[in-house]
Amino acid sequence: MTPPGHEWTPQRDLEFSAGEEHALALAYKSFAPLIFTVALRSLGDRSAASDVTQEVFVRAWRFRSGYSPNAGSLPAWLLGISRNAVSDAQSARQKSDKIVQRVHTVGDLRAQEDGTDEIESVANRVVLDSELELLGEPQQSILRLAFYEDLTHQQISSRLDLPLGTVKSHIRRSLTQLRSRLETWNAAP
């Protein structure tokens, strides 16, 4: 078996930087397995590793004008992009986890601080429900399945018949919007 990238030459570097699509296709064929493996080892999640692999090639193609074949080979540049994409994915996962945790505990925290009980919890649920309604569809349905039914991204994708990447993107963007609005609500006296 030949190693990944065996077909890659300095000429391919030049073709890629010149925007020749066949060079992108060959780069993907040659290096996607390596980048997927790096991402999988870092993230421990096949779906996230697949998303990172796709993101690496999208970024590489979008920003190919910043690639200089004289500075280094395309495989090395792609691995640099993959390190950034893995780091971004880890940060996004941590932020998402924190937001979900905060949304789940917002009622409990307010009740502990104020000494209130079930009334505050119900009020928090009403606020959360109204905030979810502001998101629109399919974001509202996706977050309701995540929060109230505790479904995984994959389960939500299957239930709503949406691509997994779409579900993840909606969750990430919606949680950012929701966090902003809930922080404003929590700051109110």
Rounded percentage of the chain residues whose pLDDT exceeds 70: 74
Q: How far apart are CA 128 and CA 126, in angstroms?
A: 5
**Nearest Cα to 141, choosing from 172, 167, 121?**
167
- Give the pLDDT band of residue 1 (cuts 50, 70, 90): very low
**Nearest Cα to 6, choosing from 29, 24, 38?**
29
Side-chain-side CA neighbours of 20 within 13 Å: the count stands at 11
Rounded percentage of the chain residues whose pLDDT exceeds 90: 29
pLDDT at position 29 is 93
Amino acid residing at 102: R
Among the residue ranges 24-33, 125-134, 139-148, 149-158, the one predicted with the least confidence is 125-134
Q: Which two tokens stand for residue 92?
A: 């996004």
Among the residue ranges 66-80, 160-174, 175-189, the one predicted with the least confidence is 175-189
